[in-house]
Amino acid sequence: MKFFTDSVARCAARIGTLSGFERMPNVSFETPLLLIYTKGGSVPHLTKDVFKMVTSEKQLLSVSLPSTLSMMDVIQELDTSFADFVSMKEYIHFLSIHDPAYATTSGFQQLDSISVWSRTGRTLFTAKKYMELVQAYKPDLYVALCDGDTNSSSSAKRVRKAINRSKTLLEQCLDIHLSSDALKSKGVLGAVEGGYNVQAREESIDYLKDKPLAGFVIDGLHNNGPDVQDIPSGQVKQIIKHTINLLPADKVKVSMGCWNPATVLDLVELGVDIFDSSYPYVITEQSQALIFLCDHDACANDQYAMSITEKRYKDDFSPICKKCTCLTCQSHTRAYLHHLQHTKEMLGSVLLMIHNVHQYLQFFAAIRDSIKSGTFDQLQTRIRLKYAAVDSESAVV
Say whether 204 sits in a helix, a strand or coil: helix
- In our burial notation (b when 16+ CB lie closer than 10 A, e otherwise), range 121-146 reads eebebbbeebbebbebbbbbbbbbbb
Kind of pairing between the strands at 29-31 and 16-19: antiparallel
Q: Which residues pair with 305 in a beta bridge?
A: 290, 396
For residue 274, the cross-strand partners are 33, 254
146 is known to lie in a ligand binding site: no
The Cα 365–Cα 217 span in angstroms is 22
355 assigned to a ligand binding site: yes
Report the alpha-carbon distance of residue 166 to residue 281 in Å, rounded: 29
Question: Is 332 marked as a binding-site residue?
Answer: no
- Classify each residue of 170-194 as buried b or exposed e, where b means 16 or more C-beta atoms within 10 Å of its C-beta: bebbbebbeeeeebeebbbbbbbbb
By C-alpha distance, which of 66, 56, 63, 58 is closest to 81? 63
Give dist(CA 316, CA 311) in Å, integer. Answer: 10
Nearest to 239 by CA among 191, 202, 278: 202
326 annotated as ligand-binding: yes
Residue 312: CB atoms within 10 A of its CB come to 11
Residue list for the binding site: 324, 326, 329, 355
Residue list for the binding site for Zn(2+): 324, 326, 329, 355
